[in-house]
Structure 1
């Protein structure tokens, strides 16, 4: 189909309908649908078309894809591959592609004077999808499939040809066959380079709530959206490249729950990480939250900043004592070095903290205490230590 403005048939009373009007009517809807596929989405696999093992053989399941000309490729039946396909092409590696086909079908109600070979008997044009198997060579580039003119990859591509000779294969994957010395052949499947349909948009709005996703949009002014009787305001962000807005309390402008900038990522609200958090060559920083800041949650341990102090808060002791343990791991076992135990006796106003050192304690400086001797030993031992210290001082003075 040549690229031309969208043209509809203009119907009126007592109009003489020719074959051209019927063809143009059909072509109009074909072009509109395929241009939607090209402009609102990117081409590739839409649904299904999985390449996987079933009963020891590679299988392509039914599914739908859209090629680079906006044509829909609907595969209705599963396709099974075995050793014979490899031997027929003389290779142990096959690449699978899905291509557009156009067949013509007969109509059993066609006039009797039409013979079986008469083209006028073909009352139906059937759009099909066919899997094309090729011998693998170099690693294919699925985004630039073979047989497509270089100019077709230039944006915007709005041509929607219907001729199957205008090829645009959609890559499904690669199958590698291994033939052992004894036994049946085995097959390895590689689907790493498959192309899937995407969405071309700068903004995705939830129709019934304040939910919103910005994709590359950089609003410089506050935006307003109405949903029924509710009015939602979105804060501007001239720098953000990606943002997620989630409905929440408050009457002010919504700030993004997640915002990605060129040099930073911001997250608002509580964040739960189910797994390990790895900081590779970076630091964990705690900006000043203001004086008198409280822990994000009183019932769980947390680290936060309050004024000039960095707090490691063990949380409440209502559920029992809490321990802070520092150590190392050796041969799969954790070895404790320093332990701080927090406990609160019934009726006590201030929780008690006990520090336990597993190993030697080296103090490079002073110990600030009213009387470290009486705090750590009995009075008899303290008196003995005092005498020893005085004797040592007297001996040194001589």
Structure 2
């Protein structure tokens, strides 16, 4: 048994501030007590120190927050981040599909998976829902690397039998390889599985039926795909699924809309679709840097709130332009203003931590720095740059947090901890 404690300025937002006015929990001089990687106590240092007088205490300067949880990111695309000149469908053809074909080589997948997870950790991201490629061993490579780092990672083989040559599977391999991966990885470490059709246009009706059957057969797996990201994409989906009420309905008819469904983007949704999402318990991974980079549009936070849709935050690298969830939260604020919504800094922190955790069905494990949860956390330095230091000097908590989201990036991450242990991610 290993027990230790961390003293510092502790902040978390375990519930949505839109629903719970007292969701923000803050101890300016707090103590986090961790036993074998699990938080066993949290509170004011003055209250807990006498009770845990025999526990070694490490004082951490800065702001201690839960480890960031990236609700949508593509590890095979990291080497194509900052690829110029196209919107979604052309960008996939020109930049992304050629890059993903290289993952037919397992050694390439192993190399990129390790670099990708280290980049997440360097930016303070401790959990993520990750797109691999159509190759089953791209999942094995990612999960092997995640096990070595003790990270909480969810992923699953991409299904795309209508994909380009070199990236197309078949309905049968979609079924057999997904079943084999679920059997191989279920219950290992801190890993989870997601049935992952790329998007409606890259899977046949037969394959989408198989995806729905996999989801129904395995109640512990998620559904992870894309939805209503780009207007040209939406038009192509409407042209293919002529009987569907909208893009979401194209998935719904195959049993793919439910409480375990995570849809990336959702920026061109009808009120009918939003009502159905709220009713079903499905949720959206909001990806603002990607939406701006590909010229796709601005997510409507107010519409989502009206319909009670679960939200998380995703970087969506490589269309997303940064691995930093701080930076992503800052862009989310700016994108929200374009639709007249003022994203509160505490709600932005919620979306990047406990909100994403709830969306990914791991909210009992991580995201809130609560007793009983795993001790994944990040230490942020409000004085990481001269400008941040000047802006946050004498600032109150909300101003400090907002400045970190607008001006911060990987430089503001002073330390990343996985289950109470600091990781070397330099």
Q: Is the TM value for this pair above 0.5?
A: no
- Report the TM-score, using the length of structure 1 for normalisation: 0.21
Q: Which has the higher strand share?
A: 1
Structure with the greater alpha carbon radius of gyration? 1
